[in-house]
Structure 1
Amino acid sequence: MKILHTSDWHVGKVLKGHSRTAEHVAVLAQVVEIARAERPDLVIVAGDLYDTAAPTSDATKLVTRALSALRGTGAQVVAIGGNHDNGPALDALRPWAEAAGITLRGTVRDNPDEHLIEGVTAGGERWRLVALPFLSQRYAVRATEMYELTAAEATQTYADHVARLVRRLTERFAEPDVVNLITAHLTVVGAQMGGGEREAHTVLGYAVPATVFPTSAHYVALGHLHRAQQVLGPCPVRYSGSPLAVDFGEEENTPAVTIVEVTATTAARMRDVPVTAAIPLRTVRGTLDELAEAADPTAWLRVYVREAPRAGLREEVQALLPRAVEVRIDPEMMPTTQSSARAAQRAGRSPRELFGDYLEQRGHVDDGVRELFDTLYEEVSSA
């Protein structure tokens, strides 16, 4: 059978105040075109469909249309909730999803059969998929208790709880002549961060070893880390990565989806198909003259300016580089902070004098900034 594995769409993502809706429309349209060309039997979306737990109506419309379009290619479609998603809200969409022929799992339920999805390909191959949405630390304990596993102790780790769940949900993987699959949204020890993941959910307390997955699994489709990569484990374990760079920490990533071909008796063969529809992200450094030569109108830019700080510098950069969404002074251009012995004394000095001392300490020798401060101070004082 053939599988298309994708994750971490983050629909609704805003980049420094700039909407990326048009990019998401183009990216998801390209994912659908890849599915039409590849003709997978199954599409797995491994979490973080949205960037926020309270998506806008436009974001919801885009996600539901993309899932419907993927189903329209003839593939079975399974999507799970990630840490950015509102799991109960995704579960509330299940009646729509079931009517559309889509399997949606937002949260862990008290019935393990809810997370065991079975199907048959057009060619007659049987497959079985364990779908495990994102689990927070406290719900991991509750989930193990729901399934009447060994009592969860307060000192046990998140990885212990996830391992118990996976072990319980994969009990039927011993059955022969079935392609056994797992999809989950979590961090595996040893995997590389992609740059845009929520830090609180990627620290070691939320990481699990790849050994939680059984050798009987033919393929594990993971979401959460935004860099496409395979992780060493007892079975094929892979992150598809995000189909677009979510923030500047991901500018070196190659956005892609993963195509997997596997049978019940042969090893999974994996390959990435690049997704190129999004606007790339780049970091550039230099003086204004150097930046003018390095201007890239095709990319969102993070700019480090190698100029002394002055009033209006940000506006000059943005006029030169309209796609500059973040402008900073290069740290090498910032003077070192003066010692406290030379710091301005507050007693008996006017706000203008104190602000002038601050500017000198920071290297902002600019009369324009002083005049702006005087104007602002007069307006506040008169008010």
Structure 2
Amino acid sequence: MRILHTSDWHLGRSFHGAGLLAAQGHFIDRLIETVLEHRVDLVLISGDVYDRALPNVDAVALFDTALGRLRAAGAAVVATSGNHDSALRLGFGSSLMEAAGVFLRTRIEDLDVPAVFAADGFELLVYGLPYLEPRMVAEALGVTEPGHPPVIRAALERVRADWAERRAAADRPVHAIVMAHVFAAGGEPAESERALSIGGLDIVPVPYFTDFDYAALGHLHGRQKLADNVRYSGSPIPYSFSEAGHTKGALLLEFDADGLGEVQPIDWPAAKPLAVLRGHLEELLADPDLAPAEAAWCQITLTDTDRPAAAIERLRTRFPDTLALNFEPEGRAEPQHASYGERLAAAATPLQVCAGFVDHVRQRPADAAETALLERVLADATAAAVTR
């Protein structure tokens, strides 16, 4: 049996103001190609199907189309809700969808109700844990300790009890996959993930999952192996510039009567690459080695000593999809006064106040022409005040 582990689709998300619907449609196409090429039997989506609790209509339509295409390609689907999803909305119609081979696990009441798949010589159970917000589920799970580990531990105890009962009643091997949307210990986060809590109360120990045949984790956007049978598939496309070096895609699992076999990474090249550039403006505009970045979404950090005028406009003449611009001047002396308020208090003349403001906002001193303009404006303002 072949299972494709995916997570964190975040349908409906934007990227620094740029719409991602086309890029997400591109990854859906790659997903369907993978299912057909590898004859995938089951696709897992480990949370964060949508990017927000109230997804826009285009995102809902894309997910609807994806489910239809997956079923037409011969793959069943198990999806859980993540911290970005509305569990109630994502789970609408779940009882009807099961008849069509789409299993939505979004309710705490169903966390120990597996999707059951009969295979050649064995049975596979897929348990889908929805995102478990401790404050909302602690009472139902009988948990009094704070944080995510206690609620995950309690949920997995229910899962193990059901698994044990089914194994005892079966006449063939019964294997289990558990899906969970968590921050597991040892995982490397990216900038695009929403923190689950603060103070380390969100970190779930990896040994919680190692007795299952496989743990299909979601939430962290980088593909990661925490144990042979505990992995993050990562998001299918990048959602922050911190993911510029990630390889995106999914994980293909082979299961047989002996349990988990090979785990194969499946790579899906992004429809539009990311580029993170750093340097002086003129060097970036002239460097021939940066030609590939001309077709990428770019984050650029300028290191010019003084902030160049019209920097974003000039950069976009070569890198039209520059979405983020930062300034980190190199070689510029630190101002004598640490804060703008202190600098303002130390100014002796109106011209120094205005010139200091220009320096503070632009991160470069006013040039001769700008200083002359400020002098004229101040002189006119003073003359107008005297005549009143």
Q: Same fold (TM over 0.5)?
A: yes
Q: 2:141 aligns with which of 127, 141, 144?
A: 144
1:304 correspondence with 2:301: yes
Q: Secondary structure at the match of 2:4?
A: strand
For 1:248, give the aligned amino acid: F
1:223-302 to structure 2, matched below 5 A, reads 223-232=218-227, 236-292=229-285, 293=287, 294-295=290-291, 296-302=293-299
Partner in structure 1 of residue 365 of structure 2: 364
Query: What is the CA–CA distance in structure 2 between the aligned matches of 1:39 and 1:368, rounded to whole Å?
Result: 69
Query: What is the CA–CA distance in structure 1 between the aligned matches of 2:111 and 2:254, rounded to whole Å?
Result: 27
For 2:106, give the aligned amino acid: G
Partner in structure 1 of residue 151 of structure 2: 161
Partner in structure 1 of residue 188 of structure 2: 192
1:347 Cα deviation from its structure 2 partner? 8.7
1:277 Cα deviation from its structure 2 partner? 3.7
Query: What is the CA–CA distance in structure 1 between the aligned matches of 2:97 and 2:76, rounded to whole Å?
Result: 12
Q: CA offsets per residue over residues 125-162 of structure 1, 9 Å max, x none? A: 421111101111212303303xxxxxx22x44421221
Unaligned runs of 5+ residues in structure 2 are 382-388
Moved more, 47-56 or 202-211: 202-211
1:34 Cα deviation from its structure 2 partner? 0.5
Partner in structure 2 of residue 117 of structure 1: 115
1:192 Cα deviation from its structure 2 partner? 1.7
In 2, are the aligned partners of 1:68 and 1:100 still within 8 Å (CA)? no
1:118 Cα deviation from its structure 2 partner? 1.1
1:124 Cα deviation from its structure 2 partner? 5.8
In 1, are the aligned partners of 2:295 and 2:319 still within 8 Å (CA)? no
Partner in structure 2 of residue 381 of structure 1: none
Partner in structure 2 of residue 7 of structure 1: 7
For 2:133, give the aligned amino acid: S
1:64 correspondence with 2:60: no
For 1:71, give the aligned amino acid: R
Query: What is the CA–CA distance in structure 1 between the aligned matches of 2:32 and 2:278, rounded to whole Å?
Result: 37
1:132 correspondence with 2:129: yes
Partner in structure 2 of residue 76 of structure 1: 76
1:21 Cα deviation from its structure 2 partner? 1.0
1:209 correspondence with 2:195: no
Partner in structure 1 of residue 160 of structure 2: 170
Query: What is the CA–CA distance in structure 2 between the aligned matches of 1:48 and 1:56, rounded to whole Å?
Result: 14
Query: What is the CA–CA distance in structure 2 between the aligned matches of 1:347 and 1:353, rounded to whole Å?
Result: 6
In 1, are the aligned partners of 2:111 and 2:130 still within 8 Å (CA)? no
TM-score with structure 2 setting the length: 0.84
1:19 Cα deviation from its structure 2 partner? 0.6
1:324 correspondence with 2:322: yes
In 1, are the aligned partners of 2:146 and 2:201 still within 8 Å (CA)? no
Q: CA offsets per residue over residues 226-275 of structure 1, 9 Å max, x none? A: 1111113xx71111111111110111110011000022424432010101
Q: 1:221 aligns with which of 213, 216, 220?
A: 216
The verdict on how the C-alpha distance between 1:93 and 1:61 changes in structure 2, with shifts beyond 3 A counting, is farther
In 1, are the aligned partners of 2:233 and 2:249 still within 8 Å (CA)? yes
The verdict on how the C-alpha distance between 1:311 and 1:289 changes in structure 2, with shifts beyond 3 A counting, is closer
1:315 Cα deviation from its structure 2 partner? 1.4
TM-score with structure 1 setting the length: 0.86
Q: Secondary structure at the match of 1:205?
A: coil
1:198 Cα deviation from its structure 2 partner? 1.1
Partner in structure 2 of residue 339 of structure 1: 337
Query: What is the CA–CA distance in structure 2 between the aligned matches of 1:96 and 1:298, rounded to whole Å?
Result: 44
In 2, are the aligned partners of 1:140 and 1:158 still within 8 Å (CA)? no
The verdict on how the C-alpha distance between 1:231 and 1:143 changes in structure 2, with shifts beyond 3 A counting, is farther
Unaligned runs of 5+ residues in structure 1 are 146-151, 379-383
In 1, are the aligned partners of 2:111 and 2:128 still within 8 Å (CA)? no
1:5 Cα deviation from its structure 2 partner? 0.5
The verdict on how the C-alpha distance between 1:127 and 1:267 changes in structure 2, with shifts beyond 3 A counting, is closer
Q: Secondary structure at the match of 2:24?
A: helix
Q: Secondary structure at the match of 2:345?
A: coil
% same residue: 29
Q: 2:313 aligns with which of 283, 298, 315?
A: 315
For 1:170, give the aligned amino acid: R
Query: What is the CA–CA distance in structure 1 between the aligned matches of 2:332 and 2:13, rounded to whole Å?
Result: 32
Partner in structure 1 of residue 41 of structure 2: 41
Query: What is the CA–CA distance in structure 1 between the aligned matches of 2:256 and 2:147, rounded to whole Å?
Result: 34
Matched positions, count:
362
In 2, are the aligned partners of 1:218 and 1:262 still within 8 Å (CA)? no
In 1, are the aligned partners of 2:28 and 2:66 still within 8 Å (CA)? yes
